[in-house]
Amino acid sequence: MSGRFTNRVALVVGAARGIGEAIAESFIEQGARVLIADTEASVGTATAVRLGAPDRCCFVACDISRKSDAERAVTDAVNRYGGLDILVQNAGIYPWTLIENIEPEEWDKVMGVNLKGTYLAARAAIAVMKKKNYGRMVFTSSITGPRVTSPGHGHYSASKAGINGFIKAAALEFSGYGVTVNGVEPGNILTEAIKTERGPAYIQSMQESIPLGRLGTPREVANAVLFLASDEAAYITGTTIIVDGGQTLPEGKDFRITPG
């Protein structure tokens, strides 16, 4: 186990499975103590048990769209592990609905988890981090919204573009407390949700649009998160890292160059 994050405490929201699970696992492998927060209690508890003993990893039920839950998750991290050094807000939902069919309730739910949840997590964490004049905040945005979009993702796109704007504002406001604020913008990542909810045809279509010729892995997103949370990134704040295999680079679909 690497000691890159020895004596660091990380709260990873939306870590029961998928990208968040990979982020939590990577932190633990590199010495951190991690509190996993998620709405999926049974899955999240099982993930925490798999990743380590209670003195290394625990689970707390959390709906990050609720102020009380965000504050309780931060308090839990402090009470269990003695502080909070790193916040990762990875929780997000992405229903597929055309704009003309989005009901206000669905719009509010997407904004509540993705965008409001980002603000609530940051608001709760800064109260702890400013006391020790140190902190790392990393938020999961997306290429969908800030860079590209597709039909059916109007609310999701708006929420993720909003996260990028929030990252800049929070980075500026929190800079005086020794807290950096950054984000990752994943492209198409091969999670279990993508396999079951989108299916083989979608995956094949996306692979054809990605210069590197494949979907990314949760670990590849986790690697970018860990860098931004590390001391190596101490002079980086208010920005994002795109993790998309080059998907946002081509001007059109005929981008492949065949040698010879």
Active site amino acids: 156
Q: Tally the residues of the chain.
A: 260
Which run of H or of E encompasses 194? helix 192-197
Transcribe 56-93 into DSSP letters: TEEEEE--TTSHHHHHHHHHHHHHHHS---EEEE----
Angstrom distance (rounded) from CA 73 to CA 51: 18
**How far apart are alpha carbons 259 and 148 in whole angstroms?**
29
Question: Phi and psi (nearest 5°) for 247?
Answer: -60, -35
Burial class (CB in 10 A: 0-12, 13-18, 19+), 80: middle
